[in-house]
Structure 1
């Protein structure tokens, strides 16, 4: 399913959610067969005492675990296992496995003598479904293009991919593969690699969405002379999800204790592991908040978006998986034509939306406002 909502493209895979739910049920039932509660619960208490971190817990937590070992039932264990597997699989949220795509750019001021004040951040580029303009679009566009996007030739822009599940993404611009620089292939390949990876990140409370940013320029934007060419000015996406079985074995199966001893070790080792993870998260956030500087100490790059993956981490993800791990039979395809303002007006019959900015004379310019005289791009 591909949908457009307020300028954002959604590639949703609800069928993966249902497949994950079935795998969770099957796996939990399989694991439960190895859980045999002893008739003498003192055996479980002795197991707790044999774990060194148990003696580092507070007295209150020790007593709580001992009571749990003496009273826990099969039904309570099943509930806890299902909850853990559900969270690890990302089934504790309303969103299905999905990838979103946003197109953003720095606002461009009009070419006049005025000084303009811009809102903070990047602006999202407008998208419109081609089905809204069946009478004004070239026939070739209607057959192969899903959306139109307004873009001026030469303007740089970002494509921001955000996902809560692993996806391989192929991007072709003007019939050239964005990764290899060669004509695009119809399938994924690893050598040379012709796809990007966008993935969520497993957290203790579920799967967190993460982003990957790809920078492009609009040199292929369609003008009136190139209006009839269906390749010029087109961006083609292929979104391919990770196979459900691969995802389950990587992210979910290991989160379920396989034995009763491992089940109780969950509660014994959990506090120390959580403390270490919290410390690592604090260090990571501190690192993200520091700007990147060169040898002279000058700032060369500001703070990254909080949800943005490092390219090095993306490369590590690619190295861990083979092409066969991606389910290309479930791929979603989408094509977008870039139009300059004249073509946009010709097709839609409307003027291009204007950037949200305010013009000021030099004498009346508020001192506290952020001024941009020319477009910039980081």
Structure 2
């Protein structure tokens, strides 16, 4: 019998049924040039809105979800893990980060509007070019710099929307047989999250270009069970908002890119020859960067030493090094 996926917060991770998503702090890359993958600098904290009935905005409480703090122009990326194949829709405001289409709670392949898990390990930005993305960068609403404002002409939602869709029973059994695995019940250790959306004060704009592929799904849409799905909205708080609502001090601003490069710390490359890259979204390819719209605040930057770039996956699909993410 088909049932909706349960959505929970477990520590600083979101669990959407078999899918786990964490939001990773990272370096903001320059908007000029094409760059390797920056490192993960730890997870952003996540808190349920419903746990703060006296301090969270009334509209947030009415609609639930979770919240996390970012500084203005801070970058982030999403790390994915799934116990089984699944489709994960990622929205920046009311815009799909993969297709550039208006958010639609149904799966599509023309164009593909989701990330195919377990194949897609992470997503650092919007699908804006051939073999590259433009980095997720936090900006306040009302300035017109978000992806949502540029694509839709309004900033009514902001934040991040996630929707996971599992396989049909038949497709799941076929996959388990191929893996030699036995189906088991998922065990969750945290309280449930109420999935809904509300207008936060921060949204995501586009930053620098990064080498990253968004993989085309090899599965047929008929393998997915749209009724076996779950959605959650992630409110993006400013540092001041986070402290006012939670009483917690937000994480310190991460080390800047120049300091990281000067110390010769690692960057990463990930290439999987076994999977086809999706065509870029024409809509997202036209999105202007935060620097174009609000002014570039980065200044000159030191080139990355190629010797510090670690390849995480080789041409044949073999894992070379895990890296510290």
* Band of TM-score, shorter chain: 0.5 to 0.7
Secondary structure in 2 aligned to 1:337? strand
Contact 2:93/2:157 (CA < 8 Å) preserved in 1?
yes
Match of 2:117 among 198, 206, 209: 198
C-alpha distance in 1, partners of 2:63/2:50? 11
Decide whether aligned partners of structure 1 residues 369 and 188 sit closer, same or farther in structure 2, where only a CA change above 3 A counts. Answer: closer
Partner of 1:61: none
Partner of 2:277: none
* Unpaired runs of at least 5, structure 1: 13-97, 109-119, 201-209, 224-228, 257-300, 303-309, 358-366
Match of 1:100 among 20, 41, 50: 20
Partner of 2:45: 126
CA apart distance, 1:233: 3.0
Match of 2:14 among 5, 9, 18: 9
CA apart distance, 1:239: 0.4
Partner of 2:164: 239
Contact 1:240/1:330 (CA < 8 Å) preserved in 2?
yes
Greater share of strand: 2
Partner of 1:146: 65
Partner of 2:122: 212
C-alpha distance in 1, partners of 2:254/2:137? 21
Runs of at least 4 residues off by over 4 Å: 220-223, 253-256, 367-371, 374-378
Secondary structure in 2 aligned to 1:233? coil
Question: Highest Rg: 1 or 2?
Answer: 1
Question: Cα RMSD over matched residues?
Answer: 3.9
Greater share of helix: 1
Decide whether aligned partners of structure 1 residues 221 and 330 sit closer, same or farther in structure 2, where only a CA change above 3 A counts. Answer: farther
Decide whether aligned partners of structure 1 residues 146 and 253 sit closer, same or farther in structure 2, where only a CA change above 3 A counts. Answer: same
CA apart distance, 1:193: 1.3
CA apart distance, 1:327: 0.7
Secondary structure in 2 aligned to 1:331? strand
Partner of 1:169: 88
Partner of 2:222: 324
C-alpha distance in 2, partners of 1:255/1:99? 20
Does residue 336 (structure 1) correspond to residue 229 (structure 2)? The answer is no
Secondary structure in 2 aligned to 1:246? helix
CA apart distance, 1:183: 1.4
C-alpha distance in 2, partners of 1:149/1:348? 10
C-alpha distance in 1, partners of 2:140/2:81? 24
Q: Residue deviations 1:141-188, cap 9 Å, x none?
A: 123341111012222211011112011011111211111212111211
Q: Residue deviations 1:23-79, cap 9 Å, x none?
A: xxxxxxxxxxxxxxxxxxxxxxxxxxxxxxxxxxxxxxxxxxxxxxxxxxxxxxxxx
Secondary structure in 2 aligned to 1:122? coil
Partner of 1:66: none
Decide whether aligned partners of structure 1 residues 255 and 152 sit closer, same or farther in structure 2, where only a CA change above 3 A counts. Answer: closer
Does residue 349 (structure 1) correspond to residue 268 (structure 2)? The answer is no
Number of aligned residues: 205
Contact 2:88/2:116 (CA < 8 Å) preserved in 1?
yes
Decide whether aligned partners of structure 1 residues 2 and 255 sit closer, same or farther in structure 2, where only a CA change above 3 A counts. Answer: closer
Contact 1:127/1:149 (CA < 8 Å) preserved in 2?
yes
C-alpha distance in 1, partners of 2:106/2:56? 29
CA apart distance, 1:329: 0.2
CA apart distance, 1:230: 9.0
C-alpha distance in 1, partners of 2:228/2:139? 29
TM-score (norm 1): 0.46
Q: Residue deviations 1:252-300, cap 9 Å, x none?
A: 16969xxxxxxxxxxxxxxxxxxxxxxxxxxxxxxxxxxxxxxxxxxxx
Decide whether aligned partners of structure 1 residues 218 and 136 sit closer, same or farther in structure 2, where only a CA change above 3 A counts. Answer: farther
C-alpha distance in 2, partners of 1:254/1:125? 33
